[in-house]
Amino acid sequence: MENEQQYISDSSNTYNESVTYISSDLQADEDSLEFLDSLGTEINPLFFHKQELPIRSLASQSVAGHVSVELIEGSFRDTPCYFLSISSHFQPEPSVSYKQSVASYISPNMRTLMQSVYHVVEGPDGTTEKVQEMIFDDEDGQMIITESEGGVESQKFRIESNHARSLLTEGSVWVLTRILAHKPQPKPLPFFTLSQNTLEKTTYSIQSTHDAESIITVSPYIPPSISFDSLRSDTQSEEEAASTPKQNGDALACLFDPSCSKTIALTSTGACSCIRPHNSPYVIQVIEEARTSTQQKDDEPMQDPFATRDFGGNIELQSEYAERKRELKTFQEGYIAQQPDLGDIMADYLQLVLHRKPQDVYSFTIEYFSI
């Protein structure tokens, strides 16, 4: 695994506003940029999910907090995107608690359009509130980051376009893990991440094990329950971190990043089974997604959700299929535009279907709309 750090550059004063440009000599990787472009511009509902992550003490197994994650379809400035909501609460002792919420709008090709991170620490000495807001500037392709403490803006940063394009944030990392679980990549993919206002370059790689599973080296979201410095572990090897066994017939992938010092077991459906910060007495146990009869069998090859139907190579059928899809989409968009309430009803219905995964969709639909 490769993890490099670079520096924060000069500060400038524009319109009486102090802005620090975060710059780096590191160059964006062409393979990573090509991978991001290959994701296209359409939202993939296979990646939607909702999870509850209890945080337990390894010693007593008591629940010390939780992390809730929900990934759904959203829209930012009329642009279809993923909307990720993360909320967490952790209480290591009766007098101290940590709360954090993340709201992130992520484009289909992993560009963070806007993100807000709200962090609250409550202790004997009072309450500290910190807010970090990111927004993508359409005009120059830069990322603007504003940090506030106690309701007062403290710092403002800009990341230039050549680094902002392959920058992964708290939100886009969650979406990326879902994509890599469905769409493994043969080459290592270096991306930029931001840590303590410093650009880092972390390589995301996928390896095959003797069990034909995949080990995905990636940087997952760091819950506010554990401090960054206390998690750092430079001695543990990737082989040790990737020792999670196979469970419930799902092919597991272990996600590991020394800079975050944590291991995640990720199933082929994109569901986590365990997050354990190293050198920490706490573990986050994630509720796995249920397997249904519609999911693939273990001995079947993984189907690429981005693949198009080839109809046995019949060009005429491919063309007709694409035309019918366009006609259906045009009709659907026009009808929903005339019936604004229908859009919300159908969105709730599809969200429920994706969450419950009913085996008999027809009966489920009849029951849903008869209420």
Q: Note the pLDDT tens digit of each residue in 95-154.
A: 888 888 889 999 999 999 999 988 888 888 888 888 999 999 888 888 999 988 887 888
For 289, phi then psi, to 5°, come to -70, 140
Query: Residue 194: exposed, middle, or buried by beta-carbon count in 10 A (0-12, 13-18, 19+)?
Result: buried
Q: Is there a single domain that holds both residue 71 and residue 216?
A: yes
Say if 51 falls within a structural domain.
yes
Assigned token pair, 254: 């272990």
Mean pLDDT of the chain: 65
Q: Is there a single domain that holds both residue 234 and residue 275?
A: yes
Q: What is the pTM of this model?
A: 0.57
pLDDT of residue 112: 93
Say if 159 falls within a structural domain.
yes
Query: Over 50: is that where the pLDDT of 247 sits?
Result: no
Q: Is there a single domain that holds both residue 361 and residue 272?
A: no
Q: Is there a single domain that holds both residue 210 and residue 358?
A: no
Q: Is there a single domain that holds both residue 275 and residue 330?
A: no
Q: Is there a single domain that holds both residue 98 and residue 151?
A: yes
Say if 307 falls within a structural domain.
no
Tens-digit pLDDT profile for residues 320-357: 777 777 776 676 666 666 666 666 677 777 777 777 77
Q: Is there a single domain that holds both residue 109 and residue 221?
A: yes
Q: Is there a single domain that holds both residue 345 and residue 255?
A: no
Q: Is there a single domain that holds both residue 127 and residue 197?
A: yes
Last residue of a domain, one of 242, 263, 285: 285
In which band, very low, low, confident or very high, does the pLDDT at 83 lie, cut at 50, 70 and 90? Answer: very high
Domain range for 339 is 316-370
Mean pLDDT for 12-22 is 58
pLDDT of residue 58: 54
Query: Residue 114: exposed, middle, or buried by beta-carbon count in 10 A (0-12, 13-18, 19+)?
Result: middle
Q: Is there a single domain that holds both residue 207 and residue 277?
A: yes
Q: Is there a single domain that holds both residue 334 and residue 186?
A: no
Number of domains in the chain: 2
Tens-digit pLDDT profile for residues 211-220: 333 334 333 3
Q: Is there a single domain that holds both residue 156 and residue 38?
A: yes
